[in-house]
Structure formats: structure tokens, C-alpha cells
């Protein structure tokens, strides 16, 4: 697998009345061809800001790149001008958003919204773009696309709007598809349809997907690799199996423990006490220190470096330091043998 995107030590801050909010604080990851990388985390963890930075969708000011680079095809995207970005957005890197109700233009037909990028990026004629639009709608599973292409977003249901948005995003065969909570606003039965569609399209087109989500079920279903974000940092990353079956960071344990298991009811959920840190004044050491049941003195003062757990997995936690006491993965965070019903 070859690297298609490399993010190095990216830091993004926002200038606000309350001071500089350091939303993303030194994030490093890479995305390979044909793979799905999931970034998981809670609201305020910096996952959406990371995703939007890749597309340069962060309004600057108040946002600013403090540090780091985003390397795509040998070029640093943080240094591109707005004009240069226009040639990349929608063509090389596309994005689908959480809320299909607000991210489609209500005054334009779906067909026009699909053609827009085809005409701009691929110099297609209006007629060809229309034809291709019908093909794309068919590809994403919209019935009677010849009729549907001339309709407006309000005539579509929620699931169909998300399908249309995927069609728009895929119109120019992008190398990377960024999906920011693509199924959060949808019902479970529709969510299952959309997740299936995205996997099927990935197989057909080979697009790399960066999936931003807070739902560990969706991650288990769709991702090849996972990065767990907390307090603006990636605290753990690894293959999907490593993250679920051999998690190393106490925050990952907490996330896995707070999910109800379908097959046992009586156990109390392992809630993570407290709430996430204020990123206007981020903690000096590990961001999870105030909520971590295993916190030590060193955690307050120094951010841990990444420790390699395997070739593919690493975590930033002082517990992995050889001088730290050994801590077993808590029972509540153990995943496996989930019974399937229905």
C-alpha cells in the first residue's frame, strides 16, 4: 500500500475572545491508498478541525496553522493559495458532511450540483455532465435517476440526500474522500445502507476514505485503521483489530467501556468521569490526566511520547513506559464474542 497523504505535526488554533483555542495540537498520521482510516473522538477532540484542515475549509482568521504540514502528492497543502486549492477540492480530495439537509444547495437541482464540478474540473459539456450525473446517481443507488436528477434537495429523503452528496463527492474520482460523521444524522436502517454503499464504492474506485466519527460501531464496521483523538491529540492509533482487541490507552479503554454491550445488561456502564479539557488552556501534560483512573504524577507535567506496541500500533501514555507500573486492560474494555441477534 502506498501513502497518499501525510499529515505531520499539524497544529491548528483559533483566535477567540477567550484566548487562543488550540483545537489540534500536533497531529501526525498518514492515509494509504484504498484504505479507510477512522478518526474517533468526542466533540471538541479536534477530529473535525483536522478533517477540515485537509480541505482548507477552516476560515482563516480566526483559524490559523500554527505548525506542521499536510503533504499530498509531494506538495504541502498548508502553503497553497485559495486559487490553487480550488483545483484540488472536489477533484483530488472531496468531502461529505454530517448533515445532508444543510450541505446541499436548496436552490439548485441535484443534477446541477453534480455537474458543477464535472464542468469545472473535467471541462465536460453541460450535456455530458448531465449524462454522467445520471450514471452517478444510479451508482449510488437512487431509483429513476433520469427523473431524480432534475429535482431539488427538498424532494429527497434524508438517506437519498446523503447518497446524492456521495455522488457529488465522487463525481471527479477523487483520490481521497473525507467523510465527516456521514451517518450520524441518519436512522440505523439508513445508516446501514450508506455504510454498505461507501464500502462498495471504495472497492470499485479505490478511493481512500478518512472517516470521522464518534460511533465505535461504525468504526468496527468500516475502518481498516483507527486513530483515537482526545484533547487535540492522537492518543492511540493502530489497525482496527488492535484498537478493539488490544487497546493500550486508558481513554480508548474508557470509550470501549462506556458502550453498552448488547449481551449483558446488569453491569453498570463504565462511564469516564468528568469532562474533556478546555483547549483554550490545555493541560501541560497528558490531556486525559484529569479523567484517567491510572494517572500518575508524571502525567500532569509531561506529555508522553508515542510508544510502539507493534509495527502498526502506537499509543501516547506513560503507562507504556518501562518504569510505570503494569496495568492490565480492564474487563469493561474487553471486546469480543459479541452475540449477534436478529
Partner 1 sequence: MDNTREKLLEIKNLQKHFNIDRNNVLRAVDGISFDIYKGETFGLVGESGCGKSTAGRTILRLYEATAGEVNFHGENVHAKKSKKELKKFNRSMQMIFQDPYASLNPRMTVKDIIAEGLDIHGLVKSKAERTKRVNELLETVGLNSDHGNRYPHEFSGGQRQRIGIARALAVNPDFIVADEPISALDVSIQAQVVNLLIRLQKERGLTYLFIAHDLSMVKHISDRVGVMYLGSMAEIASSEMLYEEPLHPYTQALLSAIPLPDPEVERSRERIILEGDVPSPINPPSGCRFRTRCPFAMEVCGKVTPESIEHKPEHWVACHLYDDRYNEEYKAKQ
- Selected binder of partner 1 within 66, 119, 259, 295 (CB under 8 A): 259
Residue 246 is a binding residue for partner 1 (CB under 8 A) = no
Residue 309 is a binding residue for partner 1 (CB under 8 A) = no
CB of 309 to partner 1, least distance (A): 17
| Cα-to-chain-centroid distance, residue 158 | 21
Considering only residues 160 to 199 of the shown chain, the ones binding partner 1 according to CB under 8 A are 160, 187-193, 195-196
Buried-exposed string 48-79: b where 16+ CB fall within 10 A, e elsewhere: bbbbbbbbbbbeeeebebeebbbbbeeeebbe
Considering only residues 78 to 137 of the shown chain, the ones binding partner 1 according to CB under 8 A are none
CB of 283 to partner 1, least distance (A): 17
From CA 2, how far away is CA 8, in angstroms rounded?
A: 17
Convert residues 260-279 into a mask of x (bound to partner 1 by CB under 8 A) and - (unbound).
xxx--x--xxxxxx-x----
- Selected binder of partner 1 within 214, 298, 327, 329 (CB under 8 A): 214
Q: 203 exposed, middle or buried (CB, 10 Å; 0-12, 13-18, 19+)?
A: exposed
CB within 8 A of 148, min separation 6: which ones? 110, 137, 142, 156, 160
Q: 131 exposed, middle or buried (CB, 10 Å; 0-12, 13-18, 19+)?
A: middle
Residue 280 is a binding residue for partner 1 (CB under 8 A) = no
Nearer to partner 1 (CB atom), residue 60 or residue 192: 192
Residue 43 is a binding residue for partner 1 (CB under 8 A) = yes
Residue 292 is a binding residue for partner 1 (CB under 8 A) = no
- CA terminus-to-terminus distance, the chain: 37
Convert residues 319-338 into a mask of x (bound to partner 1 by CB under 8 A) and - (unbound).
----------------xxxx
Residue 221 is a binding residue for partner 1 (CB under 8 A) = yes
Nearer to partner 1 (CB atom), residue 121 or residue 233: 233
Sheet holding 208-213, edge to edge: 93-96, 176-180, 208-213, 36-40, 225-230, 233-239, 314-316, 306-308
Footprint of partner 1 (CB under 8 A): 42-43, 157-160, 187-193, 195-196, 214-221, 240-241, 244-245, 254-262, 265, 268-273, 275, 335-338, 340-342
Amino acid at each position: 500500500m502506498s501513502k497518499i497523504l501525510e499529515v505531520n505535526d499539524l497544529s491548528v488554533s483559533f483566535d477567540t475572545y477567550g484566548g487562543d483555542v488550540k483545537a489540534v495540537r500536533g497531529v501526525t498520521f498518514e492515509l494509504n491508498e484504498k484504505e479507510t482510516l477512522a478518526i474517533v473522538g468526542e466533540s471538541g477532540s479536534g477530529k473535525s478541525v483536522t478533517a477540515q484542515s485537509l480541505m482548507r475549509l477552516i476560515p482563516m482568521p480566526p483559524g490559523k496553522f500554527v505548525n506542521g504540514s499536510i503533504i499530498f502528492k509531494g506538495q504541502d497543502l498548508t502553503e497553497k493559495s485559495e486559487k490553487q486549492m480550488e483545483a484540488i477540492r472536489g477533484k483530488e480530495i472531496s468531502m461529505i458532511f454530517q448533515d445532508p439537509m444543510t450541505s446541499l444547495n436548496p436552490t439548485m437541482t441535484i443534477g446541477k450540483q453534480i455537474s458543477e464540478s464535472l464542468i469545472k474540473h473535467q471541462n465536460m459539456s453541460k450535456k455530458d455532465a448531465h449524462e454522467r450525473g445520471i450514471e452517478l446517481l444510479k451508482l449510488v443507488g437512487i431509483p429513476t435517476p433520469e427523473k431524480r436528477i432534475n429535482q431539488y434537495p427538498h424532494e429527497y429523503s434524508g438517506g437519498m440526500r446523503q447518497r446524492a452528496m456521495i455522488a457529488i463527492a465522487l463525481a471527479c474520482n477523487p483520490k481521497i474522500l473525507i467523510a465527516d460523521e456521514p451517518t450520524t444524522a441518519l436512522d440505523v436502517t439508513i445508516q446501514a445502507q450508506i455504510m454498505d454503499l461507501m464500502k462498495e464504492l471504495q472497492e470499485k474506485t479505490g478511493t481512500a476514505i478518512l472517516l470521522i466519527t464518534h460511533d465505535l460501531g461504525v468504526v468496527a464496521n468500516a475502518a481498516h485503521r483507527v486513530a483515537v483523538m482526545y484533547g487535540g491529540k492522537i492518543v492511540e492509533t493502530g489497525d482496527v483489530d488492535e484498537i478493539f482487541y488490544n487497546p493500550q490507552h486508558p481513554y480508548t479503554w474508557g470509550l470501549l467501556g462506556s458502550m453498552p454491550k448488547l449481551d449483558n445488561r446488569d453491569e453498570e456502564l463504565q462511564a469516564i468521569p468528568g469532562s474533556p479539557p478546555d483547549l483554550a488552556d490545555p493541560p501541560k501534560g497528558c490531556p486525559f490526566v484529569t479523567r484517567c483512573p491510572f494517572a500518575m504524577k508524571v502525567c500532569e507535567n509531561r506529555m508522553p511520547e508515542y510508544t510502539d506496541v507493534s509495527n502498526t500500533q502506537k499509543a501516547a501514555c506513560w503507562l507504556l513506559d518501562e518504569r510505570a507500573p503494569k496495568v492490565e486492560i480492564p474487563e469493561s474494555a474487553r471486546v469480543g464474542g459479541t452475540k449477534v441477534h436478529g
